[in-house]
Amino acid sequence: MAAEQQKDFEMIPLLVNNMKGNNWKLRFDSLNGLMQMAERTQDELQISNKFVLVLETLIKGVTDSNAKVAFKAIEVLEKFIPLFKTGIEQNAQLVLTGLSANLCSTNILLRNKTDLLIDLLVDTLESDCLAEGLVHLALYGNSRARAPIISHLCGTFNLL
């Protein structure tokens, strides 16, 4: 691994730790940092043991109590999904569970943006990797999120 990429990987714990703080601006900036690092180290991150940590951090950002941070996390995930298709397919349940919380949000813009992000997952990933997660959420997830989850499940298998 090149020295520059090693520096990027060394920044991951700091950026992840920043997401745990109370300062929304720091959390917002950390999401930018994670995306920049991911773009620079795409091939290495995809096969790294730090990939899941980065993905979990992005999902935590999606459910952040600050709407600006949540929107930024969704924006980052929109870029992240096509870059890391294989890694996200392997962790589809994690991603779907995190996103499903926003389908119940009282913030209609956040709810709609999350819905569009799930559409991107359905369009980008293999349907078999999404099926189990969507079915699980439809059966056991928040009842207010069931209708959109079932809609995405039907869209995954072109049932609509």
CA dist 89 and 66 (Å) reads 28
In sequence order, what DSSP letters do the residues of 85-124 get, joined into one string?
Answer: HHHHHHTHHHHHHHHHGGGG-S-HHHHHHHHHHHHHHHHH
What is the three-class DSSP state of 158? coil
> Average pLDDT for residues 82-100, to the nearest whole number?
93
Domain identity same for 31 and 79: yes
pLDDT of residue 113: 95
Q: Distance between CA 15 and CA 123 in Å, rounded?
A: 29
pLDDT surpasses 60 at 117? yes
Question: What's the domain count of the chain?
Answer: 2
Which of these, 8, 102, 12, lies nearest to 55 by C-alpha position?
A: 12
Residue 8 pLDDT grade (very low, low, confident, very high; cuts 50, 70, 90): confident
pLDDT at 160 over 60: no
Query: What's the chain's average pLDDT?
Result: 90
Q: pLDDT-derived band of residue 2, with 50, 70 and 90 as boundaries?
A: low
Verify that 77 and 101 share a domain, yes or no: no
Q: What is the pLDDT of residue 144?
A: 83
Q: Which residue has the higher pLDDT, 37 or 3?
A: 37
Tokens of 76: 């980052």
Domain span holding position 5: 1-84
Whether pLDDT at 5 is above 70: no
Is there a single domain that holds both residue 62 and residue 106? Answer: no
Residues 21-33 have a mean pLDDT of 95
Q: Provide the token pair at 142.
A: 């928040």
- Rounded distance, CA 84 to CA 14, Å? 22
What distance in Å separates the CA atoms of residue 123 and residue 125, rounded to the nearest whole number? 6
Q: In the predicted model, is pLDDT for residue 46 greater than 80?
A: yes
Phi, psi of 66 (to 5 degrees): -90, 120
Q: What is the rounded distance in angstroms from the CA atom of residue 62 to the CA atom of residue 4?
A: 28
Domain finish residue from 59, 84, 109: 84
Q: Domain check: are 71 and 103 in the same one?
A: no
pLDDT(134) > 80: yes
Q: Are residues 80 and 96 in the same domain?
A: no
**If you average pLDDT over residues 103-114, what whole number do you get?**
92
Judge whether 116 and 138 are in contact, CB under 8 Å: no
pLDDT of residue 142: 85
User: Are 110 and 32 found together in one domain?
Assistant: no
pLDDT of 86: 92
State both tokens at 48: 């790294």
